[in-house]
Chains A and B, each alone.
Chain A
Amino acid sequence: MNRLFPSTSGAQGFAGVARMAVVVLVGAVVLAVASLLPESSPLHVSAFTVSLAGKYLSYAMLALAVDLVWGFAGILTLGHAAFFALGGYAMGMYLMREIGARGVYGNASLPDFMIFLSWTKLPWYWWGSGHFLWACLLVLAVPGVLAGVFGWLAFRSRVSGVYLSIMTQALTYALMLAFFQNGFGFGGNNGLTDFKDILGADLHSPVTRAVLLVITGVVLALALMLSRFVVAGRFGNLLVAVRDAESRTRFLGYRPEQVKLLIWVFSAMLAGVGGALYVTQVGIINPGEFAPANSIESVIWVAVGGRGTLSGAVLGAVLVNMGKTVFTAWLPEFWLYGLGLLFLVTTLFLPKGLWGCLNPPPVRRQKTSRPRFPARKEMRHECAKTSGNA
């Protein structure tokens, strides 16, 4: 496989990322089609499997977002699930309004939990939530604006390293506490759930689920290629430069805070899209998604799959979550130990992650022959001078 598609520039080479995008697409389509086969068919897959696959691919979007900032810009985010959850809530608001009068209280304009709180009208921030396109805008805008404000403040003040990581944890923790409040207007600890349909299509019908899975696959594949575009060119080089020698880039005239802000906001938006796809297929979004442990888990997916490889993030997210599904059904109380062990083993024995193992970077010439300093050879004009004598 590697020889057929040699990667051009290391682990995040075009061929590698394109291959992963194709795998994601084909996988999603095959599962979606198989779920529509009659149940008697041996190739039939259950609705449960389809929604699991959708969940994995949504998490893969989050992992991709984490890899962009951690793998390429060196920002160890421990709060990225916040952006994921915000995207999920933005889509969840629309799905809540789609329920309409079919809720328990039969109120066409207010979601059930608001009636339960004796509210009489929608809070202002639910404005537009009945429109799908508005929801899509919010999915990008809410995580984007929050990341923009947070990043601008943090990067401008030159907060970095472990301090920034702690701040991202605090951010997601604060959001979790806020969303747990009933009065905050997002359903308190129950979150948003009981969705009925999306754009008029029944969310419980196999066809809708199959289509949602395919859409998730398409969006993830596009996100992979877009991310590859961002990190492959000169901007990617600049990210690496900022990651490895931030102050040096300043003396070249770059403003590293702007560079970091751009990738940070882009990454938050990707995470938000992942959350929106997640909520349509999992059917619930609640404040638990903001739990700091979720963000840390997403960092582990990336570490396991291979930091700074894009494809590895997707691979890690899918494999670890598959492991989690199996493991938590089998030995639920040991899952966290298993995850911790996995993280240790990867860090110790697979520093480049699974993807790095599967796709070793091309051997560089300098490893075999160390270059000599050219100035040790005679200088050019001296060569010119002496060449007559030789």
Chain B
Amino acid sequence: MNAPKLLEMRDVSVTFDGFRAINGLSLTLAAGEMRAIVGPNGAGKTTMMDIITGKTRPDSGSVRFHGQDLTRLDEPAIARMGIGRKFQKPTVFEALSVRENLLLSLSGLRGPFSVLMARLSGKEQARVDHLLDMTRLGDFADHQAGGMSHGQKQWLEIGMLLGQEPELLLVDEPVAGMTDAETMATADLLREINRTRSVVVVEHDMDFVRALDVGVTVLHEGSVLAEGALDTVSADPRVIEVYLGR
């Protein structure tokens, strides 16, 4: 376990109108690791992602990615550093085709002038085709993204996330609203992704977390309650109390 630290949150706190959403949260992720974050509603899972991606600025504490402080950067700067995010509610560009969605996500051109002058290169074409293949959306490449099913949008968004070629993927409830088969396919996809990238998954679905077979962090009231393998964590009396009530 001597892998270098990729992400390090230290003593992070944030308050919204007097409500302490994140309370002295510390969390470390090694390079190449996949971690599942679980916790009851309001535990601060999504707020934690907001802080890492620059949407929310913490009141105190530090967030370091490759040792660089993220708390002073905005969303595009953090995204360009190699942190990709998938939202709880699938957010794709509905008026564009599946292919156009993936093309916009591809890492590389980001300035408005360079995008204006961009012409589709063979390499980009190949990358998009690979993503279409990986997310099994090849048959729907030229369909409007808005017309896709919920599950397909989730996968398209994961495809867009991969297109960004991030080092770290933050994935918020990827299997919400999916069928069991889709859930298991998504777990496979994330494990596949984890071969080359680090992943943080927030999820309620325990079957899914079990299928991922990774380290689990339990959040409660904005801080870490327990950390470890799923079986260890779920046997922890504090965790049981939080989940089942006293």
List of B residues within 8 angstroms of A262 by Cβ: 112-113, 116
| Bound Cα distance from A370 to B140, whole angstroms | 10
Q: Is A234 engaged at the interface, CB distance under 8 Å to the other chain?
A: yes
CB pair A244 B95 closer than 8 Å: yes
Q: Bound complex: CA of A254 vs CA of B78, how far in Å?
A: 11
Do B84 and A238 touch (CB < 8 A)?
Answer: no
**Cβ of B91 < 8 Å from any Cβ of A?**
yes
Question: Is A339 positioned at the interface, with any CB of B under 8 Å from its CB?
Answer: no
Q: Does chain A have a CB within 8 A of B228?
A: no
B185 at the binding interface (Cβ < 8 Å): yes
Chain A residue numbers with a CB within 8 Å of B148 are 371
Stretch at the interface among B1-9, B63-71, B96-104, B201-209: B96-104
* Whole-angstrom distance between the Cβ of A67 and the nearest chain B Cβ: 16
Closest to B184 in A: A379
Chain A nearest CB, measured from B153 CB (Å): 10
In the assembled complex, A218 has its CB within 8 A of some CB on chain B: no
B48 to nearest A CB, angstroms?
Answer: 15
Q: Mark B68-106, 1 if CB is under 8 A from A, else 0.
A: 000000111001100011010001111110001001110
* Bitwise interface map of A from 347 to 390 toward B, beta carbon under 8 Å scored 1, else 0: 00000000000000000111100111111100110000000000
By beta carbon, the residue of chain A nearest B96 is A237
Contacts of B59 in A (CB 8 A): none
Point out the residues of chain A lying under 8 angstroms from B140, CB to CB: 366, 371
In Å, the complex CA distance between A238 and B147 comes to: 19
Residues of B within 8 A of A250 (CB): 74-76, 79
Q: How large is the interface on B (under 10, 10 to 19, 20 to 34, 35 or more residues)?
A: 35 or more
**Interchain CA distance A364-B97 in the complex, whole Å:** 11
What are the interface flags for A240-284 relative to B under an 8 Å C-beta threshold, 1 for contact and 0 otherwise? 110011011111111100110110000000000000000000000
Would A234 and B93 be within 8 Å (CB), given that A251-B84, A252-B164, A364-B143 are in contact?
A: no
Contact, CB under 8 Å: B116 / A376: no
Contact at B76–A234, with CB atoms within 8 Å? no
Q: Is B32 an interface residue (CB 8 A)?
A: no
Contact status B93-A240, CB under 8 Å: yes
Given A251-B84, A253-B79, A366-B144: A259 and B164 interface contact (C-beta under 8 Å): no
CB of A164 within 8 A of chain B?
Answer: no
CB-based nearest A residue for B170: A251
| Cβ-defined contact, B96 with A375, below 8 A | no
How far is the CB of B41 from the nearest CB of chain A, in Å?
A: 23
Bound CA span A250–B87, Å: 13
Instruction: Choose among A251, A259, A379 the residue that contacts B185 (Cβ–Cβ < 8 A).
Output: A379
CB-defined contacts of B95 to chain A, threshold 8 Å: 240, 244
Residue of B with least CB distance to A241: B93
Query: Which residues of chain B come closer than 8 Å to A252, judged between CB atoms?
Result: 79, 104-105, 160, 164
Residues of A within 8 A of B147 (CB): 364, 366-367, 370-371
Q: Is the CB of B103 within 8 A of A234?
A: yes
CB–CB B85/A373 < 8 A: no
- Does B182 lie within 8 Å of A245, measured CB to CB? no
**B105 cross-chain contacts in A, Cβ below 8 A:** 252
Q: Please measure, in the bound complex, the distance between the C-alpha atom of A234 and the C-alpha atom of B100, giving whole angstroms.
A: 8
Q: CB distance A374 to B93 under 8 Å?
A: no
Interface centre among A245, A364, A374, by most chain B C-beta atoms within 10 angstroms, is A374
- Would you call A373 and B182 a contact (CB within 8 A)? yes
- Contact A376–B143 (Cβ < 8 Å): no
CB contacts (< 8 Å) of A238 on chain B: these are: 104, 112, 115
> Is A200 in the interface zone, CB < 8 Å from B?
no
Given A371-B140, A373-B152, decide whether A237 and B53 contact each other with a Cβ distance below 8 A.
no
Enumerate B131-182 residues with CB–CB distance to A below 8 Å: 136-137, 139-140, 143-144, 147-149, 151-152, 155, 160, 164, 179, 181-182
Q: How far is the CA of A299 from the CA of B53 in the complex (A)?
A: 38
Measured in the bound complex, the distance between the Cα atoms of B120 and A259 in whole Å is 19
Once bound together, how far apart are the Cα atoms of A261 and B92, in whole Å?
23
What 19 new A-B contacts, CB under 8 Å, besides A366-B143, A371-B147?
A230-B116, A234-B115, A237-B93, A237-B104, A245-B91, A248-B93, A250-B74, A250-B79, A252-B104, A252-B105, A253-B76, A262-B116, A366-B140, A366-B144, A371-B139, A371-B143, A374-B137, A379-B188, A380-B136
15 contacts between A and B (CB under 8 A): A233-B119, A234-B116, A234-B118, A237-B93, A238-B115, A240-B93, A244-B94, A245-B93, A253-B164, A255-B76, A364-B144, A367-B147, A373-B151, A373-B152, A374-B152
